[in-house]
Amino acid sequence: MLRGLRNLFRLIGIARTLARYDALFPADWLPATGGLVFAARILSGFRTAPGIRDLRPGERLARALQALGPSFIKFGQMLSTRPDLVGETIANDLSALQDRLPPFSSDEARNAIETEFERPVDELFEHFEDTPIAAASIAQVHFARVAADPDDPSAGPPADGKGAPARDVAVKVLRPGIERAIERDLDLFRWIAGIAERTQPRLRRLKPVMAVETFAESLRWEMDLRMEGAAASELQGNFSDDPMYVVPEVDWERTGRRILTTEWITGLPVHDVDDLVAAGHDLEAIVHKAAESFFLQVFRDGFFHADMHPGNAFVRDDGALCVVDFGIMGRIDRGSRYFLADMLLGFVTRDYGRVADVHFQANYVPAGTDRQVFHQAIRAIGEPIFDRPPSEISIARLLAQLFQVSERFDMEVRPELLLLQKTMLIAEGVGRRLAPELNMWQLALPLVEEWMREHRGPEARLAEITADVIHAAGRLPQAVEALERAATSIADGELRLDFGRAGAPQWPIWTGIVAVTALALAALLT
């Protein structure tokens, strides 16, 4: 009862903010909210913030979420990956949601660092810049310098021009009290999702409670900066042999739960086209590298940078593409990669039967779905898109429309593919800004085809089957031992298989042994 009242009062305050930004339309997604909407309009004085009326609904919602604070900014970013929930137009507008807030004080930043490492800031860093270079909803980043090994090629002169060499680093510091504030907001999100799932049958397919829990889990990981450091380290390891795709090294000595220190990245922001041209960079080469690196992350590694907005990518003087900020990463298992590659090749070659088939083979479409109708729906998505010049084809928008079709056929949503789709959309935008005549997915298509030959051709399938057999053979001794133990227990009377309850048929003992054998074989083969 107390929780409900507390969240109801908070909801009224949130609705008031939404009213000020003329963004109350999400209330239409929930039951019996007419009174709440009316109360919000009264509390807002029926006034809207300046410059709001000419914006699209998604843009107004983005402004409102930014005004509501960190949890709502992150929630808006999550909604931008769910066009199945909010529609493609609103999702696209939310993808531009600016994750910026006023910075917190340098005293708070220094205190956080000293509390984390139990050492003075001046001992950890030769120089620490008090003014942050960026302030977002969860954390802010400071420039600093640390002593470096004289043999380190990345080391530069010390800040004062004397003494030992120094190395430039970026220090990310969590906002004070952010964990408590986010947990309070998450409780509200769970409460709303629970009401929606109980009272709105049409929303149950979208699993709002599970969506909030997934969001909560991702936020918890994002607030442990050691996890971001681990993600950066993994991505760097995946590209360790590629000097033209740069991931900053993590300074683990100065990294903890609330502090992340990484190598300082210098370069021009990837969206500053004029500056890139003035510096003599080949824009088409940058798009080629972006397409190649994205393909490798998704298909080769199944681990990709999922927050590739322009502020997180830079071009170094030598043309290398550099990425930062690893708080949001995506993973795709092997089966999903095969599905995605088959589907994309089917669309690109206009083989819509193949696209339909891979959906059925992956069990993404409910049993009993009419294949011909589904095939027709796939064609309706593909034909309008591919009847355009290559430079205008958007694979990301194609996937977004495919996910919208999922509601009609009662298909379950795949969160990792939604995150991938949104990342692709952002990457497309950057690619078109750099080289409007190029289609980065056409650049990556030869890589996809080669990967398919290596991983989906007859030789690859034979190797996969062989690996599965070897894996099963390795488990054979344990399965046989378990079978022997079970058979001995049955023979000694320690284990009884009681099929003799009243009204049940009587089964001989060998039936039990056969059953145990079948279970052991099933365990072996799974």
CB atoms within 10 A of CB 97: 24
Place of tokens 């090749």: 345
Helix segments in 44-177, DSSP class H: 57-68, 70-79, 83-86, 88-94, 106-117, 121-124
Pairing of strands 259-263, 166-174: antiparallel
Instruction: Report how many helices (DSSP H) and strands (DSSP E) the chain contains, helices first.
Output: 22, 11
Place of tokens 């990981």: 221
- Residue of 307, 318, 325, 468 marked active site: 307
Q: Could you tell me which of 78, 31, 332, 326 has the C-alpha nearest to residue 212?
A: 78
* The Cα angle at residue 310 between residues 256 and 319, in degrees rounded to 5: 95
Amino acid identity at 456: R
Pairing of strands 313-315, 259-263: unpaired
**387 counts as catalytic:** no
Task: Characterise 218 by phi-psi region: left (phi > 0), alpha (psi -120 to 50), beta (else).
Answer: alpha
Round to whole Å and give the CA distance between 270 and 428.
13
Q: Could you tell me which of 80, 95, 98, 186 has the C-alpha nearest to residue 135?
A: 98
Residues in the chain: 526
Residue 333 is classified by DSSP as -
The answer to whether 77 and 145 are in contact (CB under 8 A) is no
Round to whole Å and give the CA distance between 506 and 43.
73
Q: How many angstroms separate the Cα of 207 from the Cα of each of 194, 210, 246, 359? A: 10, 5, 38, 21
Where in the sequence numbering do the catalytic residues fall?
307
